Amino acid sequence: MWFSYGRSEGFPSQYPPNATAVTVDVLEYGIITAFFILTVCLVISLPSVDKTSNIRTYSRVGLQLFIGLLVLLGNYGQEWEVAMIKTKTPYKAGNGIEIEASLGVHIGLRSVNVTLKATTPPNSTLQKEIIDYNERFTWTWDQGTFGFGPHAGRLQQEFRAAQLRGVPTPILWIVEYFVIDGEGFRHGRFYRTSGWYCHVLMWSAFATWLLSVILFRSVIVYGGYCLGLTGILQLVANLVWLVVKNPLPLFIPFEDDNLVTSFGATYWLTFFNGLLCLLLAIVIVVIDQIYVDQLYSYFEIDPLSSFDEISYLTPEEESLLRHKEKKNDIPLVPMTPPEEEDEKVDYIPVYKRRGTVRYRQVPPIPPAISRSNKPRRLMEVV
């Protein structure tokens, strides 16, 4: 009975929509939240008694997550190019009132965001109106036919829908520069093309980052190669955005100022992350050649996991191998076993690094053994 208290219409109460302005980019904050959850899970699940191991693990995994976060933010960020001005401008068609507004343009790989904020002039018909707009117009990915019909591009269709909704005039003026596709006004076409190529490169960088995370648990130097490739792909994306976009800069005049775009936070974030990945890759590859044991200790991996082959050589054979590796003038000749099997000969275990021609001697494991104890399957191995 109490459900009907205060209601005379006989059905649930209905209220008009309470439209509010956009405050944050939901997708960007969703990506940040996802990586924050992964970081919290890392902090909870990985601590151990060994403080040194904790520091190594947190620094290693935390840096890997940070790089992956920057790759995705570079892909979906909305500030590859930005512009912001304050000017006097008409508000809407059919309304002669002018407003002092802050206009902003935020260009990403897939869309352009146009913001409009202003305080309503006193003693006018707009006195009770809240002027706070954030409109996104997407161009993924077809150019479409000329016009605004069903076969036109997505950007053109969204522009026509905004006109029918009565979006403020300054926003339509700005978006019109992206919609026009003729003569020197091809900003929308060039931004769409450069966004497509950068979108492909950024997803490729994300894939190589995932591959580097996996390889860092097996062969560290291969993970370094993939991390370097991640950085190169991001730097190439910066170069593509710089080169492919319209050679004529975006210049939109208003009454008090001109709207001119410049590189935004997402562009520089991608550039910084690319340099970081490339620098870390170089450091890892160099350390792998000089301090391989310390590197594998930092990643908490068995150093022997990077070796493919084990050969048992006599000291003379091992000496010839080292000499050949340095001078490159004495060939390594297979050695036939001596006739006297009773002779005690010590053999040195020699390990071959995976994917390289560099040999490394590991004295402790396994120890030198005599010919009488050498496995028969290794008798022919040189």
Query: What does the pLDDT look like over 92-101, one tens digit per residue?
Result: 877 778 888 8
Q: Say how many C-beta atoms besides its own lie within 10 A of residue 291's C-beta.
A: 12
The pLDDT value given to residue 147: 76
Query: Between these two residues, 320 and 56, which has the higher pLDDT value?
Result: 56
CA atoms 365, 371, 372, 377: torsion sign = positive
Query: Model confidence at 359, in pLDDT bands (50, 70, 90)?
Result: very low
229-256 average pLDDT score: 90
292-316 average pLDDT score: 72
The pLDDT value given to residue 108: 93
pLDDT digit string (tens) for 267-300? 999 999 999 999 999 999 999 888 888 888 888 8
Q: Which residues of 38-69 are buried (b: 16+ CB within 10 A; e: fewer)?
A: ebeeeeeeeeeeeeeeeeebeeebeebbebbb
pLDDT at 164 over 50: yes
Query: Between these two residues, 322 and 255, which has the higher pLDDT value?
Result: 255
Query: Between these two residues, 48 and 114, which has the higher pLDDT value?
Result: 114
Q: Which residues of 157-183 are buried (b: 16+ CB within 10 A; e: fewer)?
A: bbbeebeeeebbbbbbbbbebbbebee
The pLDDT value given to residue 356: 47
User: Ranked by mean pLDDT, which of 102-106, 140-144, 149-153, 317-321 comes out on top?
Assistant: 102-106
pTM for the whole thing?
0.76
Residue 351, beta-bridge partner list: 310, 360
**Largest CA-CA distance found in the chain, in angstroms, rounded:** 114
Query: Between these two residues, 350 and 294, which has the higher pLDDT value?
Result: 294
The pLDDT value given to residue 241: 94
